[in-house]
Amino acid sequence: MLLMKEELIIKIKQIMAKYPKGESALLPALTLVQKAHGNNLTKELVNQVADVIGVTHSRAFGVATYYSMFNISKAVGKYHLQVDTNIPATLMGAKKIFDYISNKLGIKHGETTPDGLFTLSHVECLASCGTCPVVQVNDVYYELMTIEKVDMLIDSLRNGIMPVLPVEYNWATQCNVLLKNRGVKNATSIDVYKKNGGYKTLAKALKMKPEDIIAEVKSSQLRGRGGAGFPTGVKWGFISKDNQKPVYLICNADEGEPGTFKDRQILAYDPHLLIEGMAISAHALGSKLAFIYIRGEFSWIADILEKAIEEAKKDGQLKDLDIIVHLGAGAYVCGEETALIESLEGKRGLPRMKPPFPAVAGLYGCPTIVNNVETLASIPFIVENGAKEFTKWGSVGGYGFKLFGVSGAVNKPGVYECPMGIPLKDLIAMAGGIKGNMIGIIVGGLSVPMLTPEELKKGDGLKMDYESCAEYGTSLGSGGIMVISDEFSIPDIALRTIQFYNHESCGQCTPCRLGSGMIVSMLKKIVDGKGEKGDLEKVLWFCDNIKGKTLCPTGEAYATPIKTMITKFNSEFNKLITK
């Protein structure tokens, strides 16, 4: 039996000591042990981790098999090449890259070369949509991949070297708040951040009464930037004044919604902005312990955050606040706030029944506020300049500044900071204009309904805020915009979309678990040219019977977009049905 080394056991105990409950260390401990064992886990190792942490073997095994980053069902080779093939990646040439690697190495998805050197997998969106195609090798992202770069990468890996292949990102700002430090050299260091005015607002906030900060955030009308758009100040107000339990603040850095790659711009390039926002928010909420739950694939960004937190602590900025960076392990549903809390408690990331809402009973049964990275990074501006300055941008349809990620068929895919309500056409112009002939556009991440070019011509044109998106029959969501050109077919896009949700369904609700699987098989049949009359109606029936009948919004997040694709592009689907 393979035994864990003593030093790993000591490290696991150190991780446990950071959390109010040691069970929270389960995911980080499994990640650590997997890394120390050639990127693979075995049942024995999982049992040993369970014994150190003090949870049952079955619970630890359930966790290890739930998250896609744990390699337990199948061993992987020394280099695990993971090609992201989600929608934006597909739109930007991922299939060509996947097929090339597959032919070059002579292996298919899930297979390992006979020498044990390479395993090839396709994976879901890696939050790098502006720089797709992406190949993740073990912990490292290789972005904007070309055939030449793949050759270079594989040659180098054969020589035992993980090469450095830097990429340039497209970005621009019209507001100069969230991306203020994006182009500044060494902006991740506290000295540079402070030189540019950083942490002054925290000093101001610490002298303010918590209720005054909450009132300012309420009057700014800031709405959460994680996708649902719930008013932040209102959410903060749900923490009971009579509460005797600890209050926890969690920053949601899961960035899992396909088409979304905005939060990493703050996390990796201006971590102190987030830390300052969190420290101000924690003061307003009376929280002494905060967490950054960050997707597991961003482990190098987690290192940047940990270093920045250490710097802030040493500099005396955090006073009695502690911030723990907690890595997820590959599960889209863990972006949903209650699934995230379960995951942080060292469990499978299964969404909880609501109510109770997290503000009443969240992490460890205590009042908890979950906010997105961008939301928390917007707080210093509001506290420094006042709500009025924030509302000078945007309108009643949505106030303030916002990060938009633009990917797919545009000339300069990237992240753009703009006022809320910017006309979509202006945003597309910032992203270098459309490449080719657009047939559809998704404006708020994969879970919002697609729009057609004809629909965009209606009225004064779509504006990127909550109200205008609703008027056009879609949602602002996370602000992830994907432009689809006529190089692609909508039935193919619909199939790949539902394959993603089917893969990510946590399985708790029968309509979501079985419905997504049924839609995959029916759309596959249609795309393969084997569709029969009545198949499309069946898909639509499933969509109608999933929507509103699930525990978390995921069911609706695919039922509505799939239904929209079928109804708006009906002839494209019908063309494929020959029987």
Ligand X SMILES: Cc1cc2nc3c(=O)[nH]c(=O)nc-3n(C[C@H](O)[C@H](O)[C@H](O)COP(=O)(O)O)c2cc1C
Q: Which residues form the interface with ligand X (CB under 6 A)?
A: 224-228, 230, 252, 254-257, 333, 335-337, 370-372, 375, 552-554
Distance CA 498, CA 66 (A): 19
As a whole number of angstroms, the longest Cα–Cα distance in the chain is 72
In the bound complex, what is the minimum distance in angstroms from residue 404's beta carbon to ligand X? 15
The reply on whether position 49 binds ligand FES by CB under 6 A is no
Task: Give the residue with the Cβ less far from ligand SF4, 224 or 351.
Answer: 351
In angstroms, give the least distance from the CB of 392 to ligand FES.
Answer: 33
Name the binder of 375 from ligand FES, ligand SF4, ligand X, none, CB < 5-8 A by kind.
ligand X
Long-range contacts of 60-65 (CB under 8 A, 24+ apart): 60/26, 60/30, 62/348, 63/26, 63/27, 63/30, 63/346, 63/347, 63/348, 64/30
* Binding partner of residue 491 among ligand SF4, ligand X, ligand FES, none, CB cut-off 5 to 8 Å per kind: none
User: For residues 116 and 76, what is the distance between their CA atoms, to the nearest angstrom?
Assistant: 8
Q: Determine, following the binding rule CB under 6 A, whether residue 335 of this chain makes contact with ligand FES.
A: no
**Distance between CA atoms of 190 and 192, rounded to whole angstroms?**
6
- Part in contact with ligand FES (CB under 6 A); list of ranges 120-128, 197-205, 289-297, 460-468: 120-128
**In the complex with ligand X, which residue's Cβ is closer, 97 or 373?**
373
Read off the tokens for 162: 């993980």
State the Cα angle at 269 between 263 and 272, rounded to 5°. 90
Q: State whether the Cα torsion 327-333-338-339 is positive or negative.
A: negative
Under DSSP, the state recorded for 118 is E
Tokens coding 55:
């949870």
Q: Which does 23 bind (CB under 5 to 8 A by kind): ligand X, ligand FES, ligand SF4, none?
A: none
Tell me which residue has its CB nearest to ligand SF4.
512
130 CB neighbour count, 10 Å cutoff: 30
To ligand X, the closest distance from the beta carbon of 228 in angstroms equals: 4
Cα angle vertex 518, ends 351, 126, to 5°? 55
Closer residue to ligand SF4 (CB): 407 or 554: 554
Question: Minimum distance between the CB of residue 546 and ligand SF4, rounded to whole angstroms?
Answer: 8
Residue 442 host element (H or E):
strand 438-442
Task: Look at residue 508 and give the partner it binds from ligand SF4, ligand FES, ligand X, none, a contact being a CB closer than 5 to 8 Å depending on partner kind.
Answer: ligand SF4
Task: Please report whether residue 128 would count as binding ligand FES according to CB under 6 A.
Answer: yes
Q: Nearer Cβ to ligand X, position 98 or 558?
A: 558
User: Could you tell which of ligand SF4, ligand X, ligand FES, none binds residue 126, using a CB distance below 5 to 8 A set by kind?
Assistant: ligand FES
Does residue 444 belong to the site contacting ligand FES (CB under 6 A)? no
> Which backbone phi and psi does 414 adopt, to 5 degrees?
175, -165
Residue 258 or residue 511: which is nearer to ligand FES going by CB?
A: 258
Nearer to ligand FES, 255 or 276 (CB): 255
* C-beta closer to ligand FES: residue 18 or 95: 95
Binding at 125: pick from ligand FES, ligand SF4, ligand X, none (beta carbon under 5-8 Å per type) = ligand FES
Buried b (16+ CB within 10 A) or exposed e, 295-313: bbbbbebbebbeebbebbe
Q: Does 447 bind ligand FES (CB under 6 A)?
A: no
The option from ligand FES, ligand X, ligand SF4, none interacting with 129 (CB < 5 to 8 A, set by class) reads: ligand FES
Interaction partner, residue 480 (ligand SF4, ligand FES, ligand X, none; CB < 5-8 Å by kind): none
Partner from ligand X, ligand SF4, ligand FES, none binding residue 555, C-beta < 5-8 Å depending on class:
ligand SF4
Q: Which residues bind ligand SF4 (CB under 6 A)?
A: 333, 351, 505-509, 512-513, 550-552, 554-555
Confirm if 23 and 56 have CB atoms less than 8 A apart: no
Q: Which of 297, 304, 234, 238 is nearest to 275 (CA)?
A: 304
CA-nearest of 10, 7, 2, 8 to 40 is 2
Q: In the bound complex, what is the minimum distance in angstroms from residue 84's beta carbon to ligand FES?
A: 4
Angle at 425 between CA 455 and CA 467, to 5 degrees: 60
Contact of 268 with 292, CB cutoff 8 Å: no
Cα angle: 562, vertex 517, 334; to 5 degrees: 80
Q: Which of ligand FES, ligand X, ligand SF4, none lies near 509, with the C-beta cut-off 5 to 8 A by kind?
A: ligand SF4
Among ligand X, ligand SF4, ligand FES, none, partner that 564 touches (CB below 5 to 8 angstroms by kind)? none
221 binds ligand FES (CB under 6 A): no
- Write out the binding residues for ligand FES, residues 237-266 only, by CB under 6 A: 258
Exactly one of 32, 64, 127, 526 binds ligand FES (CB under 6 A); that residue is 127
The CA angle 89-486-421, to the nearest 5 degrees, is 70
Between residues 283 and 295, which has the closer beta carbon with respect to ligand X? 295
According to CB under 6 A, which residues from 55 to 94 bind ligand FES? Answer: 84, 86, 88-89
CA 165: distance to chain centroid? Answer: 23
Question: With binding defined as CB under 6 A, does residue 323 bind ligand FES?
Answer: no
- The b-or-e profile of 444-474 (16+ CB within 10 A means b, else e) is bbbbbbbbeeebbeeeeebbbbbebbeebeb
Structural element, H or E, at residue 264: helix 263-269
Interface segment toward ligand FES; rule CB under 6 A; list 125-133, 178-186, 345-353, 356-364? 125-133
Q: Which of the choices ligand SF4, ligand FES, ligand X, none does residue 507 contact, using the CB cut-off of 5 to 8 A by kind?
A: ligand SF4
226 binds, among ligand SF4, ligand FES, ligand X, none (CB under 5 to 8 A by kind): ligand X
Residue number with CB closer to ligand FES (113 or 170): 170
* Residue 71 main-chain phi, psi, to 5 deg: -95, 85
Q: Helices 271-285 and 299-314 sit at what angle, rounded to 10 degrees?
A: 60
Quote the DSSP letter at residue 560: H
Catalog residues that contact ligand FES under the rule CB under 6 A: 84, 86, 88-89, 125-129, 132, 134, 258
